[in-house]
Structure 1
Amino acid sequence: MIGTNRQNMTSEDGEGLGKIEPRVPMRMGRYIALLGFSAIVLYLLPFVINKMPGYDRRFGTFFGPLLDYGYSANDVNADIVVFGDSSAVFGFDPVQVGNALNLKVINLPNTLGSLAVTQDDVLRGYLKHNKAPRLIVFYFAPWDLDFNAGKPKENLFEGEDILLRTAPASEIITYFRHYPLHLLNYPLEFYSSVVQNSLVTFAHHTSGQAQIVARHGHADVPAHAPSLSEDCSLPTALTNPVGSDTVDRFINSYRSQATQTWLYISPIPNCRNAQLITNRSYRGDLTSSPAALDPTFFALDYTHVRAPGVPQSSEIFTQALTKALKSEPLSH
């Protein structure tokens, strides 16, 4: 009897195991399919969120609202439009300059990363939805005058983000066809940016869209950003001579009977070796060499003027414009 029961139990256990074994790979298959589906959703989600209204305010990067300003500046009809790298975003106050000249001045914000991707898209878009300005000033740091020649291979997320949000599908496809790895990398950059920007927004006050509009495309370097020391030295990468082919092409292509185009070279920190740049002659229509300001006015990147230095930097820009306008008045 005992032997019979053991045989029956073994037989029943075997039948039970036989019924369970096929379910294991089925369950594993479902788990793998679920993980794969989740991965696809997480990959595609940033592309969907990017198109949502208010994306730049809720999820975007620090520069998101700034970059969006230029693309949404319709019926502004400024007298003077400034287009340049991020030295223009932080380096002068369009309202201060406009009040001094009794003209409407705006800045169309860019970063070096956005310029590398979108080029002059924001300026072309502005001209489609506004009256032709009387003057376009190309405002660049001396080391960014030919930014296409030294086009950055990294930190392009800002440009790709705005490209996906504003460009037609054909332009987006063309770009990512040339840079397929960037398409794969975009979601990772997106999630990293969302976390980073959320922490910065929580810890520090950042410029909102309404403030950017009121300031005509100007923003302040975050107050917590450290400044250069007075005994600073410009790195070799910034003091090496560069061409100006990219900016020259812009200046020539946008000049017309109704619109003048001038180049302005942004101020640099007066570091120990600043003369390597200030003693160099540039093509600048408003200045042949950049002004050198107190190094403590600058952030550690040597390019961005911090808020305490903006009034002086704006005054220098105003003086350069005033002098040039006396010899070459704007058309009406």
Structure 2
Amino acid sequence: MNLFSYARADDIDAALRLAQQNGARFIGGGTNLLDLMKQGVEAPMVLIDVNHLPLADISELPDGGVRIGALARNSDAAGHPLIRERYPLLTQAFVAGASPQLRNMATIGGNLMQRTRCYYFYDPAYDMCNKRQPGSGCAAKDGYNRIHAILGASDACVATNPSDMNVALAALDATVRVKGPRGERVIPIAEFHTLPGDTPQRDTTLAPGELIVAVDLPPSPYAAHAHYLKVRDRASYAFALVSVAAALEMKNGVVKSCRIALGGVAHKPWRAQHAEAILAGKPLSDAVLKDAAAAAVAGAKPLEHNGFKVALAQRAIMRAVREAGRNA
């Protein structure tokens, strides 16, 4: 691990001032950043500890939505009555992530900032990684790419977003509130994470020095019919090969509206909007589910070792939507 300096911020303005230093990074739970530092992947010059900022509250918004402070722990958010009752999809996603010990440390803001998952990115012994060294190439494209992306990838990067929480937030149309040198702004979750394109070193649209302060969830009609399905190599403490966040609004056995997001298949949570359009206004028949699942992976470009993800994603979508339709 490289040498770095440490500073503790006691209020948001102090954190933003400290962030103007060259090579500064915020640290909350630290369950991802510290690992990357130990492995030599990340080398911040200054760590700004924001754990003591007043950003851990979970509260109801005037419109009936909910605001989750960026420093709320994943385990606290998962068990909070407002989340369990109004957004059970998010509670399920939290519980599916990592281990109880990590969920007790991980923060909402830190979860949003997890770096994308790739063997070659996490091991500096491999020189070819456009995320670590832009322009060096992508070792995963011709290497062992079983866990990598089938949707939205580019020649520069085929890594995937590892978060379960992010997939549920995408399905729930969350927004991310941030503060920075130019003030406060709100970023729709669909615009927060990026596809790799020609700049795979960027995972989010955060500007330098910006701090996540909260995540806002809009009022949701999906509490009664929601299901998060995570398909992985072992029952716990494993990243998703494919995950599905399915949220339905049902009326007389017909889908009035729905939201579907996929994890483990792209550089960002992947909204399956074509599948949503097929399901809307229809009963959950096998034929409709099959058509929706096929639409969700249209345009998929599997690699040598992850072609199985195309069929797996379709089966996972059908199962998750069926389960969501049964829940009440």
Q: Quickly name the TM-score band, shorter chain normalised.
A: under 0.3
Higher RCO (CA-CA < 8 Å; seq separation 6+): 1
Structure 1 or 2, whichever has the larger Rg, is 1
Higher helix content, 1 or 2 = 1
Structure with the larger strand share:
2
Q: TM-score, normalised by structure 1?
A: 0.26
For normalisation by structure 2, the TM-score amounts to 0.27
